[in-house]
Amino acid sequence: MVNNPKDSNTEEKILHTAMEVFVEKGLLGARMQEIADRAGINKALLHYYFRTKERLYSHIFQFILKKSAGDIIELLNSNLPFEDLLKNFISKYIDIVHKNHRIPLFIMKELSSGGNTVKEVVKNVFNIKNTEELPAIRIFKNAMEEGRIVTMDPRQIIITVIGACLFYFIGEPIIRTILIDENNFDRDQFIKERKKAVFDIVYYGLVPRGENK
Amino acid sequence: MVNNPKDSNTEEKILHTAMEVFVEKGLLGARMQEIADRAGINKALLHYYFRTKERLYSHIFQFILKKSAGDIIELLNSNLPFEDLLKNFISKYIDIVHKNHRIPLFIMKELSSGGNTVKEVVKNVFNIKNTEELPAIRIFKNAMEEGRIVTMDPRQIIITVIGACLFYFIGEPIIRTILIDENNFDRDQFIKERKKAVFDIVYYGLVPRGENK
DNA sequence: GTCTATACATCGATAGAC
DNA sequence: GTCTATCGATGTATAGAC
């Protein structure tokens, strides 16, 4: 819609700032005035570019969802053997969430309140036709066929891995309050150990007994 | 504050209704008008009992947190051997979250936006003095000392178990959109399988090789 | 305690000048 | 494209009658 560099700069500045504010405060908590202030412009200009708050939010949400989907898909594009692939996925996925710790909760908040429109966006963004043939499903099915891991519904494994990776970051405030002694806590170290713990539990939970491959 | 049965009924009706609305829509999404309508009273009465929206919300939040904490603590009060205790915990915890699937996200939303006041509430509610001696931590430490499971930071195990149990319910909209074929999905059955999957992965991920106890 | 009516503040959105 | 000024809607909170 807008082509010259000046426009593009303003629009991108808006998008960038709006993303920060929406991710911090949510759709309802965010204020157009605050977005304008932080972007160094005024409210009217926000409406000039995106007409309504909802449309601006929608842009942000889709962008974030696309980015998140892309990150995961990229992590799965690999020819590593199963053990390395799993280790690699857990490590890199935790890194991504570590750097963007507010994103998962942001996405889940939206999806829990959003209607079917949102679901269509998800399907488009992830380019889903047949759930049976998702790369992640195939990876586990192959490992099962090769006898590397026990037979189990791959979806259950995926939910377990993602949940285990995400939960620390989604629940960090309550986890730290309940479980962690703040006087003696090295967060980076704990997250590093988190990677190893998730891998160890999941991997050895899946590898058949009697094999120490 | 209020003692006669009539008052008590109104107050409880407000609390009950407000909980529904706040859990569905969050602090910012909830409307005092809607709470009043659903409770069959008018807005002014809401303010008569709880002065402000924030105070009403705070009551609800603390009640929910207390209830959730109580549920978990009760699940851990058991003298079962480790394997049964873990199986029992996972099964019952998933049942609780199943029946109250909006609660975890509600709590996390609040905690992610809330300040230190909220953290004090958490500490009081869970009655936390020394994180080292939490029942959940002790359970895993004992199992390690008895050689039943491998040595590992118990906090990492706890985060993994809770995350694996919760994630399906927190992320259900996106999980179902991406991972599940809606034309052929038995939710109750899937949740039942979820219990077994979480237990199998975690338990066999923790039990030392060479022992099939 | 409970109601109706209304004050008061906030915020998204638009009009109109430059 | 960008600004200032302002409208109009919505929602919390209160005044005051019963």
Residues A179-194 have pLDDT tens digits of: 999 999 999 999 999 9
Please tell me the predicted confidence (pLDDT) of residue A3: 45
pTM of the predicted structure, to 2 decimals: 0.94
CA closest to C1' of D10 belongs to B31
- Position B101 scores a pLDDT of 97
B62-206: what fold? Answer: Tetracycline Repressor; domain 2 (1.10.357)
CA–CA distance, B181 with A155 (Å, rounded to integer): 11
pLDDT band, very low/low/confident/very high, at A41 (cuts 50, 70, 90): very high
**Which residue in the set A29, A156, A162 is minimally distant from B28, CB to CB?**
A29
Looking at residue B1, what is its pLDDT? 45
Q: Residue A3 is encoded by which pair of tokens?
A: 């082509």
Q: Report which residue type is found at A151.
A: T
Q: What is residue B211's predicted lDDT score, i.e. its pLDDT?
A: 54
Angle separating helix axes A187-206 and A82-99, nearest 10 degrees? 150
Confidence bin at A131 (pLDDT 50/70/90): confident
Whole-angstrom distance, CA of residue A26 vs CA of residue B110: 12
CATH number belonging to the domain at B1-51, selected among 3.40.50.970, 1.10.10.10, 3.90.1150.10, 1.10.10.60: 1.10.10.60
Residue found under tokens 């195939």 = A138
Which of A15-19, A143-147, B26-30, B119-123 is predicted with the least confidence, judged by mean pLDDT?
B119-123
A120 in contact with chain B, both atoms CB, cutoff 8 A: no
Nucleotides of D under 7 A from a protein CB: 1-6, 11-16
Reported confidence tier of residue A211, pLDDT bands at 50, 70, 90: low
Q: Which of residues 17-46 of B touch A (CB under 8 A)?
A: 25-26, 28-29
- Reply yes or no on whether the pLDDT at A213 is more than 60: no
- Closest-CA distance, A104 to chain B, in angstroms, reads 9
pLDDT at A2: 41
Residues in B 45-74 with any Cβ partner in A closer than 8 A: none
Confidence class for position B131, pLDDT limits 50, 70, 90: confident
Is the per-residue pLDDT at A115 higher than 90? no
Q: What does DSSP assign to residue A4?
A: S
What residue segments make up the domains of chain A, in order of their start?
1-51, 62-206
Q: What is the CA radius of gyration of chain A?
A: 21
CB atoms < 10 A from the CB of A170, how many?
A: 28
